[in-house]
Structure 1
């Protein structure tokens, strides 16, 4: 009886043990696939320390199923390797990952058809596949432990820790990163990245078979053609070169959960895990728009700090001028002067006029250098002896690099890079030498003149200071005696209404001294009001003094208007009025000094235009808009400027805009929206049609002027630049014509044309056309305009035909003039006030 009980107990224990093993099988995740243990959608293959997981997954927006590897403990699945990239399963439940009879790792579908295989040629029947904590899936021969196949040798789009990209010239092996086609399609995309094994190793990204981006050569420490990453390479990669044709890059990430990924758009991204946000963030990315391969063509150099970003090397000029000016730089540049060796000149008289080299500092070196064993002092001579050698670089860690033929893919850096020596004709070197000599001589002579003049001026001031003060007082008294009492009393009465703490009164003598007796050398410009002089007060403050001319069309009304209006305004985009002066017949306004003068001095000057790259122009547009918003809505007074134009926009030392000249401005009441005048003042071309024709003005009048100004800033052309051409349209008409022909891109100033900013610039043109609508009701308010420019209002209405889009013929103008002479009783007069 006891024996029977014991036997029954043993059977019970065996059943319990079997049940426990069965449960354990499904409760503990495994890291290995064997012949008897395949992987399906129901099993989890997780590395021993739970770093990576292998399994079946569906990408976003698709039901297709793939086998992949991803980080195990990351909330959002981040796939770093895919097996069946080009052969998806229709659904995940139909797939099985097994060890086949021949020892290969194989993916079957529901019909047991092979979808994907490791295809290891020397695989053993007794094999198993293990997922390691590095993320590497390895196929091992169980009889001896040798690895027959591994996923690290067949990368997808991601480069993770300890992975290795190899380029082996002897075997032809080349491991590349290959992008996905799209975020929902892991199949092999257009872009690939890896080592380009030339004479000096470089990392390339290719678009198909064409280069898309490159790092520049490796100098033993860094890739010298990637400025932004030069200090951080050792955080994630190390390059090994055995000097026998095998080069490899190994991932050596110091931070956990870090990897590189080649996106479907051709961008290489470094992804870093943010523990706080529980997501991967982009630490950096390449290439930027400026870094794209060959953007500036042969002998062209890219510099993102200037506009346009492409320029020809010294001694070269655009090969196709029209294309270059339109923003298409791929045609590159060509030599201005042929090299001596190319002209076959061999006479002894030409020996002293041999070709030479120009030094270009901090450059990304061109593509395809040839390495030479020449030392630093021999590198130049080796290039000079070879007529086809166009440039050389000697870089510590690399040695002598030589280039033959065209130089492609160069870039100007702020720091780093290398000193590139370009071969040019002797005449080009002469120009440089002559320029340096002229500069040196000019500096020396100028310094001597300044010292002598300073000494003479000091002696004269010491000797005549007393006499000058007496002379100034006599002049002051003379002006005071000849003044018109009624005018002065009226001015003083008006000025008394302005609080002195808001607007100080300057005396004439102080301003005369500050401007050196209003000397011609201090004259900044001349406008309808009168001349403007630069001055310097005793405390060192620089000022601009606007002095009313006796012959000016403007008089007491405009002077007092500007004083009253601007004394009550304070805004960063409005010029600051420091005070005024009224003594005798003298009437002057004292402003803060703007070192860069007015916008038109930059915008329409061929030499200064290049300083207005797009970000500066956009800043100016937005600054003017903010100034107008303050005038129309946010100031203590509602102000209509009525004379907004490029010459009335002043620029400070950082080219920030400030609206000036409020002589024509009008104050509106809180419930007033429109006013009329019989005296139309302003500048034709900027006037709204209802104001120019009927004398009716409102906030929308300033909006019209702002629209004209916006189109001028984007195009770099004056609105009046079409005036001399009888058949041409105005700038507004020209823009409207291009808009209808879907050629509006040609309106953009070539100096700012850039793919990165294209949509932003086109949006500004769209807004400009909305501002210059013929009817005021169709124009947006300035607050709406700022929202449009900042994309707060995303949808823009289709513009209608602007005002003043056609220029009347000569006969029509004569007829109009005859009609005007016959209708002389019309009290409307047009007064054009030119720039000040």
Structure 2
């Protein structure tokens, strides 16, 4: 015998999860006092299917392909090495995703022959570290498994609940495990094991839980280990949360510090421009091919942007009259914060204005890019701009 399909769980054989997605045939398992048999029938009578059982015990189901005019493999058992019967021995569990594939069912079991086990000789399986005491034992719930071989198992009718199964198994000192006989409607009936548990594997689509009998000492150790694991997870989560909050607070503090520092610097330059004439422009990474004025110079030139120096206003901002230390009169266009113009857009505009310099156009002397300020410095026009004469009714040409 090389393959065991597992016990019937009311819907399918528990060791063949592939049957859950079957669309070609319906299958049934009948057991009563008079008879026990398994049967199946094709859903579509037009489909041809056949099964081949080889000498080594493997089974392959084929379905006839009308398109290709050939037989195609629909299902093959065993599917991998964990389907080999008793691969990991008694109380061993096979997981094809691990290397090596075999391990003991729980950490309260150990290899029966450690030397042979380490050499991938898993036939002898595992044994309990602590023996059962019969009266003070308990059960450990295991999920995601193919149930052990039922050669020495027995079952009760489907009217018995899972809780009653636990009581019945506990009363029998030979009972080593139990599970629901039928998984439908939340689980009913009992399936008991009275010997070593063998032929267990991890399944990708399991639906039955296995309750393994363990000594009180083992159960206490398992609970303690589980409790420590939960505490460790909570500690890790708490540490990550604290670190994340700390980083967030640091970032917010740094942003607030930067903003406060900018406000203080601006206030100092506004109130005492002569003390901050040496401030270097912070955004002077790119050459604009024209002079860059610092904030302190323009504050001094415009009398701290006095309202009496205003030449005009617009959607872009306000224009102030000013005078530099060398006696040159200037017009400072101070862009409004509502203009939504970023640094790169401002620089691009300045470069375009520089390229458009003409003797009949007002000359751009420079600009200022400092803190949140964006300003253009033009030569001052004492006779005002051309639009003053064009749109003034008294001075307009007839």
Q: Does 1:339 align with 2:132?
A: yes
Distance 1:380 1:326 in 2: 38
Deviation for aligned residue 1:361? 0.5
- Among 373, 377, 381, the residue aligned to 2:163: 377
Deviations 1:39-95 (A, max 9, x none): xxxxxxxxxxxxxxxxxxxxxxxxxxxxxxxxxxxxxxxxxxxxxxxxxxxxxxxxx
Q: Does 1:323 align with 2:116?
A: yes
Work out whether residues 365 and 417 of structure 1, in 8 Å CA contact, stay in contact via their aligned partners in 2: no
TM-score (norm 2): 0.56
1:527-546 to 2 correspondences below 5 Å: none
Deviation for aligned residue 1:448? 4.0
Query: Are the structure 2 counterparts of residues 235 and 456 from structure 1 closer, same or farther at C-alpha, using a change threshold of 3 Å?
Result: closer
Query: Are the structure 2 counterparts of residues 310 and 442 from structure 1 closer, same or farther at C-alpha, using a change threshold of 3 Å?
Result: closer
Deviation for aligned residue 1:454? 4.0
Deviation for aligned residue 1:457? 4.1
Count of residue pairs brought into register by the alignment: 246
- Among 301, 307, 319, the residue aligned to 2:93: 301
Deviations 1:446-496 (A, max 9, x none): 4444444444444444445779xx9xxxxxxxxxxxxxxxxxxxxxxxxxx
Q: Indicate the structure (1 or 2) with the bigger Cα radius of gyration.
A: 2
Deviations 1:292-322 (A, max 9, x none): 1111111111111222111111121111111
Q: CA RMSD in A?
A: 2.6
Deviation for aligned residue 1:336? 1.2
Query: Are the structure 2 counterparts of residues 279 and 335 from structure 1 closer, same or farther at C-alpha, using a change threshold of 3 Å?
Result: same
* Displaced runs of 4 or more, over 6 A: none
Determine the structure 2 residue equivalent to 1:442. 232
- Among 14, 39, 60, the residue aligned to 1:250: 39
Distance 1:298 1:336 in 2: 14
SS in 1 for 2:193: strand
Distance 1:281 1:452 in 2: 58
Deviation for aligned residue 1:435? 2.2
Deviations 1:756-812 (A, max 9, x none): xxxxxxxxxxxxxxxxxxxxxxxxxxxxxxxxxxxxxxxxxxxxxxxxxxxxxxxxx
TM-score (norm 1): 0.28
Determine the structure 2 residue equivalent to 1:285. 76
Determine the structure 1 residue equivalent to 2:148. 366
Work out whether residues 111 and 125 of structure 2, in 8 Å CA contact, stay in contact via their aligned partners in 1: yes
Deviation for aligned residue 1:389? 0.8
1:414-425 to 2 correspondences below 5 Å: 414-425=204-215
Deviation for aligned residue 1:238? 3.1
Deviations 1:251-301 (A, max 9, x none): 412353211111234221111112232221211110132211111111111
Work out whether residues 302 and 411 of structure 1, in 8 Å CA contact, stay in contact via their aligned partners in 2: yes
Determine the structure 1 residue equivalent to 2:174. 388
Q: Does 1:432 align with 2:231?
A: no
Query: Are the structure 2 counterparts of residues 428 and 278 from structure 1 closer, same or farther at C-alpha, using a change threshold of 3 Å?
Result: same
- Among 218, 223, 230, the residue aligned to 2:8: 218
Query: Are the structure 2 counterparts of residues 270 and 323 from structure 1 closer, same or farther at C-alpha, using a change threshold of 3 Å?
Result: same
SS in 2 for 1:252: strand
Structure 1: state its 5+ residue gaps: 1-210, 342-350, 471-836
Structure 2: state its 5+ residue gaps: 262-398
SS in 2 for 1:223: coil
Distance 2:126 2:61 in 1: 35
Determine the structure 2 residue equivalent to 1:738. none
Distance 2:206 2:245 in 1: 45
**Higher relative contact order, structure no. (Cα contacts within 8 Å, ≥ 6 residues apart):** 2
SS in 2 for 1:389: coil
Determine the structure 1 residue equivalent to 2:102. 310
Deviations 1:626-663 (A, max 9, x none): xxxxxxxxxxxxxxxxxxxxxxxxxxxxxxxxxxxxxx
SS in 2 for 1:405: coil
